Amino acid sequence: MNLELRQVADGVYATSRAAMQVEVADVVVFDMDGVLIDVRHSYPVVICKTVDQFLHERGFSGDDMAVTPDETAYFKAAGGFNSDWALAQGVVLIYLIKAELAGSRQVDGLRNLSPDLATIARAAGQYGGGLTGLETALSHLIDQRDLERVKAEWDRARITRLAQEFYAGDRAQVVFGVPNDTISGEGLMLSERALIDRGTLAAAPFRYGLYTGRNRGEVQSALDMAQLDGIFAEEALITESLGIRKPNPAGLFRVKEILRPQLMIYAGDNLDDWQTAARYEAERGLDDPPCLFCGVLGGSPGPLGYSLFQERGVDLMTHNVASLLAWVSERKQRLTTA
């Protein structure tokens, strides 16, 4: 059977096997960012502003941004950086180590100091991605004693707090339960936009789950903005507040227990989402429903998404969720009228 992706509808690609299986799909589980919500002007910008603010607080100077929104995609492509707070922490660590090596805290010069961010991100991916992979990659650049001195200055809690304040602004207390002591005014979350409308979801013949790295407050803010509140059963909202984090497939197993599907589709925009679905498939029992993964293009890995998903041999790809739902709905209709 041909397992290569081919275009099956406008904006939808599927393997032959997946095209047959989707006819019985009755549950679609979504990642949120880059799938249901356009976050191009929120989280990537939050990362950049957070890094710059933290470095400024540590005596760094310069006119250049330490990292640009486009450059955050390198780390998303490496995997393991589903948390944007962790990504900001990782970029800060890179600059602290570069500053130690160069004996300078001038950002403009450190940006040009080899290796660059893209090279470091690729190396992190080769060591498993995420902060663990990044620390392993960076440990080859600096001796252990100097690394420990750098990490003593690496205040991850402060970085997280700054990111929360940049994101939520004056609503930080509501969204994250913390006061905005440093950043005031409107948060960058107000720049987000819906990628799908309520009517499209409600009209499709599916029940829905959500598995996201956002906390419950962040999710509620996005659902309110997109007018999607009530589309998801509360029990099927799997958020960071539950202590379940991708790529742990426990989130998909939880949705499975709640919604009891015949077949699930998990739609996500990055490698952590793909790995989550892959681990579910590897761990599920014979009586558990299968889960097809759909890579949603245009999300956090940017233009790298298409090749990354192809390399992993995904079941489905789509340019947008509406196109995916329309195609699967049409396949299901064929099955019921056959």
Write the DSSP symbol of residue 29.
E
For residue 135, CA distances in Å to 12, 81, 95, 141, 268 come to 37, 13, 13, 10, 26
Average pLDDT of the residues in 86-110: 97
In sign, the C-alpha dihedral spanning 261, 267, 268, 273 is positive
- Number of Cα atoms under 13 Å in the Cβ half of residue 198: 11
Q: Kindly report, residue by residue over 167-215, the tens digit of the pLDDT.
A: 999 999 999 999 999 999 999 999 999 999 999 999 999 999 999 999 9
Q: Which residues of 251-283 are buried (b: 16+ CB within 10 A; e: fewer)?
A: bbbbbbebbebeebbbbbbbbbbbbbbbbbbee
Task: Look at residue 306 in the predicted model and tell me its pLDDT.
Answer: 83
Average pLDDT of the residues in 47-66: 96
| pTM, 2 dp | 0.91
pLDDT, mean over the chain? 94
Amino acid at residue number 279: R
For the beta sheet containing 27-30, the strands, ordered from the edge strand earlier in sequence to the opposite edge, are 6-9, 12-14, 316-318, 291-296, 264-268, 27-30, 207-211, 237-238
Q: 283 and 256 in contact (C-beta within 8 Å)?
A: no
Task: Look at residue 1 in the predicted model and tell me its pLDDT.
Answer: 41
Q: 308 and 273 in contact (C-beta within 8 Å)?
A: no
Distance CA 129, CA 272 (A): 10
Task: Look at residue 338 in the predicted model and tell me its pLDDT.
Answer: 55
Helix boundaries (H) for 117-267: 117-126, 130-139, 144-153, 156-168, 172-176, 198-203, 216-226, 250-259
Amino acid at residue number 182: T
Average pLDDT of the residues in 212-241: 95
Q: Kindly report, residue by residue over 129-151, the tens digit of the pLDDT.
A: 999 999 999 999 999 999 999 99
Nearest alpha carbon to residue 37 among 230, 214, 175: 214
Distance CA 332, CA 206 (A): 10
Q: Kindly report, residue by residue over 282-314, the tens digit of the pLDDT.
A: 999 999 999 999 999 987 777 777 888 988 899
Domain positions in the chain are 6-39+192-337, 43-189
DSSP string for 37-99: EE-TTSHHHHHHHHHHHHHHHTT-B-SS-SS-TTTHHHHHHHSS---HHHHHHHHHHHHHHHH
Radius of gyration of the chain (CA): 21
DSSP string for 274-321: HHHHHHHHHH--TTSPPEEEEEETTSTTGGGHHHHHHHHT-SEEES-H
Specify the CATH class of 6-39+192-337 in words: alpha beta
Amino acid at residue number 227: Q
Number of neighbouring beta carbons within 10 Å of residue 327: 21
Look at residue 10 and tell me whether its pLDDT is greater than 80.
yes
